[in-house]
Each structure stands twice: as structure tokens, then as C-alpha cells.
Structure 1
Amino acid sequence: MKKLIFACALLASFGASAECDSSHWINEVVGDGKVITLENEAVLLVDDSETYNTNLWLPTEDLIICSVDGNSFKVLDKDNGNDGFIIMRLASGSI
């Protein structure tokens, strides 16, 4: 319950204009957390400075993904919400 409240508070910080999607989950994490593949085969690239968080993410964990601009997204692992949102770039597929 605390994780859900934390995730909702983070979403609220984006304001009404943020477009977020909570229907995706992790299919695979590779490259020590550098590459995250979603269940729909979309591929997200993680900045090297953030892989210390994402290398601990596991398949089937649910995500909240908020659009920043065309190919950039803020992503929150709902199971590890204490990591906060991590900026990722869409390499292929769609969100």
C-alpha cells in the first residue's frame, strides 16, 4: 500500500499535462540494466548513471511510464518505487 501511495504522489508531481501509462511491465532486463524490454517488445535504453537502479529490476514487474517528449520517458518500477522515476529513451517499438 505504501508503494502505491508513493507512486501516486510521484505521478501527481507531474501535473495534469503529463501523459502516463501504467499498463506495461518488464519482459527482460539486459546489459546490467542498460536495456529494458517491455511486454509489447518496446525497447528502452537507460542512461549509464541510472543502471545501478535498473540492474535490480526483474521481469514481470509493473511500470508507470510518463512521456517527457518524443522519445524520452520517465519510468517508475512500481515494485521498487523508492528508486523514483528514471529517464529512458525509446530505442524501438512504441509505448
Structure 2
Amino acid sequence: MWTKHHKKRRFGRLVLPAITVAFLSYFGYHSIHGDFGLEGMEEFERQRVERQARLDVLVRQRQILEKEVALMSDGSLERDMLDEKARFSLNLSRADEIVIFH
């Protein structure tokens, strides 16, 4: 009968737990501090809210411009709208008018 005697090493028992701890530490750190971790998601959310607010402002400006274009191009050009735009573009006013800058 053949028998093998293995000397029990203390180092051998610690290899698998050490690798496991290193593995979990690496992925745990990156799940919080990585680009797609918790801090990264907070940054993405902050940028999304900021850009949504900017989009809302741009949509409102576009609606105002579309309304002005519709008033000027619906076939019956309103004289007041045309007069207002021309005066604003040319920076002119009549002698009997009061101009208020805001």
C-alpha cells in the first residue's frame, strides 16, 4: 500500500481566501467609484437634469419663434408684426415715440 504524506502548509489554506478577497475588493471598489458605479450614475443624473432644463428653455424659444413666423407667413402679413421686426432690426424709431430699453 502506497501512501503519500503531505505536509500541511498554512500558506496553502490562505491562497483561495486571499484571491477571493482581492477579487471582491476590486469589483467592490469599481462598483462605487468606477465610471458606471454609484458615483458615476449620480454624475449622469446631474447632467441629465441640467440638459433637460436647457432643452426646456430651447423648446420654449423655438415655440416663440414658430409663433412669430406663423404670424408673418400665414398669407395675411400683419403690419404691426412687420413694423416691429423692421424697427428692431434697423434700430429705428419715430420722433414722436418713446423707447424703453429692458
- TM-score, normalising length: structure 1: 0.21
* Greater RCO, CA 8 A, separation 6+: 1
Structure with bigger strand share is 1
- TM-score, normalising length: structure 2: 0.20
